[in-house]
């Protein structure tokens, strides 16, 4: 169990840094979602190539990892409830509610790219499913993937990937506007800015359930399973995701939302295999430190990047530069490692994890008792 928990922290740390590798281009391009699909303001072909190469490796891939790991975390809490003979669903649904509110505040006060709200809603459904038999879990997982695939195909056919909203308005708000104007923009465009989390709910449900099944069979500690993930995930995922270099095919949506999760499995296999074989000794502790404070670091990376790139902060996005974006990714990642190490020397959980844990346990602490199953 200890080995599995340690590898989970390492994978979470890698996923947090990897999602920052995607989001940094959104910040560097002043909130323009089209940055994920090749749009940018760079005059240099080298800078454009750097952005494309980075997104080829990160865009949607580490988010897929994070989603699978969230499912594993759900399963861990379910197993803990069974061991302690406590009711799982009431406590977990309350935790998910707290996570939803956390995500809502993150969306309003920090960035519109928050994923926590969508995770919380998905978890409320998946939490019920994990209490049922393996057959239902298996069926629900593949049904969710099938629904998502049909939705992605429909969007690919019907959506012009170059149309990502009023770019002039986005630029005005995030380059020339104040912090309060950005907050107001997110509130006024709440539903349009929440379309992606709603769209990926079937995918998230499928990946949650995949994480549940993966943990139940001990797949993170079996070298044969990890090698299989590497072989198929990288072997299929790399060429499929390379289609992002051919924008004329119009497969941007399919790459981010269908092909990227395949490469996520390759990354899990590669990192997990490297962990088991001792190849990650130099970076293992740094990744695990970030992973232990995954929620806090997810929140902090958005805050740091907003301050660096938006007009109400330092305003680096006013003069877009791919080298600056990559330097910011490295700098923020390093800061997260250092801050996490300093914090965990004195506390067992990250600051946001501590608050979330306190609020999630509060209703069940009456008279020192926990509801029994």
232 belongs to a structural domain: yes
On the question of pLDDT at 370 being above 50, the answer is no
Q: What is the mean pLDDT of residues 124-138?
A: 94
On the question of pLDDT at 162 being above 60, the answer is no
In angstroms, the first-to-last Cα distance of the chain is 24
Q: What is the mean pLDDT of residues 279-298?
A: 95
Which residues 6+ apart lie within 8 Å of 62 measured at CB? Answer: 14, 15, 16, 17, 18, 19, 21, 22, 264, 267
317 belongs to a structural domain: yes
Q: What is the mean pLDDT of residues 292-309?
A: 96
On the question of pLDDT at 171 being above 90, the answer is no
On the question of pLDDT at 161 being above 50, the answer is no
d(CA 273, CA 230): 8
Q: CA distances (Å), 28 to each of 36, 178, 250, 255, in order?
A: 11, 17, 24, 22
On the question of pLDDT at 132 being above 50, the answer is yes
pLDDT at 160: 57
310 belongs to a structural domain: yes
262 belongs to a structural domain: yes
- pLDDT grade, residue 200 (50/70/90)? very high
| Distance from chain centroid for Cα 241 | 18
127 belongs to a structural domain: yes
Q: What is the mean pLDDT of residues 217-223?
A: 86
d(CA 197, CA 349): 27
Q: What is the mean pLDDT of residues 176-197?
A: 93
d(CA 286, CA 332): 13
Q: What is the mean pLDDT of residues 159-171?
A: 65
Q: What is the mean pLDDT of residues 98-111?
A: 95
What does the block give as tokens for 162?
């170059």
Helices 61-83/201-216 angle, 10° precision? 50
pLDDT at 61: 97
On the question of pLDDT at 1 being above 80, the answer is no
110 belongs to a structural domain: yes
pLDDT at 373: 36
Share of the chain above pLDDT 90, in %: 79
Q: What is the mean pLDDT of residues 48-71?
A: 96
Mean pLDDT of the chain: 91
- pTM for the whole structure: 0.94
88 belongs to a structural domain: yes
What is the domain range of residue 135? 2-368
On the question of pLDDT at 307 being above 80, the answer is yes
Write the pLDDT tens digit of every residue in 243-265: 999 988 889 999 999 999 999 99
- For the chain, the domain total comes to 1
- pLDDT grade, residue 238 (50/70/90)? very high
Q: What are the φ/ψ torsions at residue 157 (nearest 5 degrees)? A: -70, -40
On the question of pLDDT at 214 being above 80, the answer is yes
373 belongs to a structural domain: no
pLDDT at 347: 94
Long-range contacts of 219-228 (CB under 8 A, 24+ apart): 220/4, 220/7, 220/8, 220/11, 220/72, 220/268, 220/272, 221/3, 221/4, 221/7, 221/276, 223/273, 223/276, 223/277, 225/269, 226/268, 226/269, 226/272, 226/273, 226/276, 227/269, 227/273, 228/269
């Amino acid at each position: 169990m200890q080995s599995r928990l340690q590898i989970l922290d390492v994978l979470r740390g890698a996923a947090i840094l990897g999602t920052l590798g995607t989001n940094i281009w959104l910040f560097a391009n002043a909130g323009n979602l089209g940055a994920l699909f090749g749009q940018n303001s760079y005059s240099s072909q080298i800078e454009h190539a750097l952005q494309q190469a980075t997104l080829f490796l990160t865009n949607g891939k580490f988010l897929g990892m994070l989603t699978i790991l969230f499912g594993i975390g759900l399963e861990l809490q379910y197993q803990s409830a069974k061991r302690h003979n406590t009711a799982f669903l009431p406590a977990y649904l309350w935790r998910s509610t707290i996570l939803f509110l956390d995500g809502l505040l993150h969306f309003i006060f920090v960035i519109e790219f928050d994923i926590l709200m969508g995770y919380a809603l998905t978890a409320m459904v998946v939490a019920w499913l994990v209490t049922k038999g393996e057959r239902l879990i298996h069926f629900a997982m593949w049904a969710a993937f099938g629904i998502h695939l049909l939705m992605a195909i429909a969007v690919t056919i019907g959506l012009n990937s170059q149309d990502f909203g009023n770019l002039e308005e986005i630029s005005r708000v995030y380059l020339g506007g104040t912090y309060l104007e950005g907050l107001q923009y997110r509130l006024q465009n709440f539903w349009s800015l929440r379309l992606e989390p709603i769209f990926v709910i079937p995918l998230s449900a499928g990946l949650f359930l995949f994480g549940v099944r993966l943990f139940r069979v001990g797949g993170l500690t079996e070298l044969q399973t990890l090698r299989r993930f590497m072989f198929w995930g990288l072997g299929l995922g790399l060429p499929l995701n390379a289609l992002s270099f051919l924008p004329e095919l119009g497969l941007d949506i399919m790459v981010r939302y269908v092909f990227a999760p395949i490469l996520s499995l390759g990354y899990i296999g590669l990192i997990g295999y490297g962990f088991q074989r001792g190849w990650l000794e130099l970076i293992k502790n740094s990744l695990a430190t970030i992973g232990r404070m995954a929620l806090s670091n997810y929140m902090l990376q958005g805050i740091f990047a907003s301050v660096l790139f938006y007009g109400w902060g330092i305003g680096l996005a006013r003069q877009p530069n791919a080298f600056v974006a990559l330097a910011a990714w490295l700098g923020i990642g390093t800061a997260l490692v250092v801050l996490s190490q300093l914090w965990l020397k004195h506390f067992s959980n990250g600051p946001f994890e501590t608050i979330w844990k306190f609020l999630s346990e509060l209703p069940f602490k009456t008279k020192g008792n926990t509801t029994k199953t």
